[in-house]
Structure 1
Amino acid sequence: MGTRYAGRWVTAAVLGLVALGCAQPGARDGDSSPLLSPSASPHPSIPSAPSTPPRDASPPPGDGAPHEAENNGWKQRHDLTADEQRAGDALAARIRPKLTALRTAGDFAPSSTQQALLGLGLRPDDVQVTAMRPPLDSTTPPPGAVFAVRFAGAGCVIGDVRPDRLLVEVTGAAAEFGCLEPYTH
């Protein structure tokens, strides 16, 4: 009785190993289906499943967390109207020459950037300037300044002045933080 019982286990183990070793060429660990041509069916008598997912199925998660969009909703900015975009573009056109002059002079101090923006007649409450963020491996910020100017209650001209570039962009304000996104890490 022991030999016959042991023989069944050996047979089951061998069949299991054979089944594992019989994967189709090109199949990888974790593949849920063998490689087939688009028109091939794994079994001629069983039709293949439709390639369109059911309407109520949620899409598979991507590289981000399942609630990434929800968690980052606070970063969403107001969409500018055509009039707001024109007003922002006009303000950016006034800002760019002042900050270009600072960059050309090699002056990247946040206080100089603030004075240049206020020199345009902008309200102090609408102007925000900070130093550049230091790299993760340092406590000293690189030369430069980050700025934001709020306009029309819904728009922002944001950017930075640094040795290698001047960036001036027009965008909408965010409901949670206004123009400059707070540093989180």
Structure 2
Amino acid sequence: MTDEQLRQEEFLRQQAANKAFRQRGNLDPEATAGAQACAAEVSRSLNLFTSGGQDEPEEEAVRQAVSATGLLDVVVRPPGRLDLGPGDGLLFAGWTGRACVFGSVRQDDIRVEIGTRIADGGCLPAPA
């Protein structure tokens, strides 16, 4: 390999390492069914906000809707520079006790996913 190729390879490795804190592990199969049920409940609750082309939901309304499903440690906030996904709307996350239910809410789009905590320990990266 040339010096330039080695430098490029090292740069790519460092870039991947910088993003590693957002990586999620494999969700325990036993936790998956419960997390999927919670995610479906969150999705139903949040879909009420976007029906009829209403304005984007407010942070407190999303927090109440997600908390009402029984999730713990609920976080709702605008996206930060370290977050993946859409750059507008709101991000949310909550803990089932065994898995994270997380996603985004925008005027015409709701995304709800399940997974483990990220490598830095939370369901969402710290806001930045």
The two structures have a TM-score, normalised by structure 2, of: 0.73
- Structure of higher CA gyration radius: 1
Partner of 2:97: 152
Q: Are the counterparts in 1 of residues 25 and 116 from structure 2 also a CA contact under 8 Å?
A: yes
Aligned-partner residue type, residue 176 of structure 1: D
Deviation of 1:109 after TM superposition, in Å, equals 0.4
Q: Are the counterparts in 1 of residues 79 and 90 from structure 2 also a CA contact under 8 Å?
A: yes
Q: Which structure has the highest strand share of the two?
A: 2
Gaps of 5+ in 1: 1-31, 33-58, 135-140
Aligned-partner residue type, residue 27 of structure 2: L
Count of aligned positions: 117
The root-mean-square deviation of aligned C-alpha atoms, in Å, is 2.8
Partner of 1:21: none
Partner of 1:176: 120
Deviation of 1:85 after TM superposition, in Å, equals 1.7
Equivalent residue of 2:12, what SS? coil
Deviation of 1:68 after TM superposition, in Å, equals 2.8
Partner of 2:12: 65
Deviation of 1:156 after TM superposition, in Å, equals 1.0
Equivalent position to 1:78, from 25, 40, 47 = 25
The answer to whether the aligner puts 1:109 opposite 2:58 as a matched pair is: yes
Aligned-partner residue type, residue 49 of structure 2: L
Deviation of 1:95 after TM superposition, in Å, equals 0.6
Aligned-partner residue type, residue 94 of structure 1: E
Deviation of 1:167 after TM superposition, in Å, equals 0.7
Partner of 2:84: none
Identity of counterpart residues, as a percentage? 26
Q: Name the structure, 1 or 2, with higher relative contact order (CA <8 Å, separation 6+).
A: 2
Equivalent residue of 1:66, what SS? helix
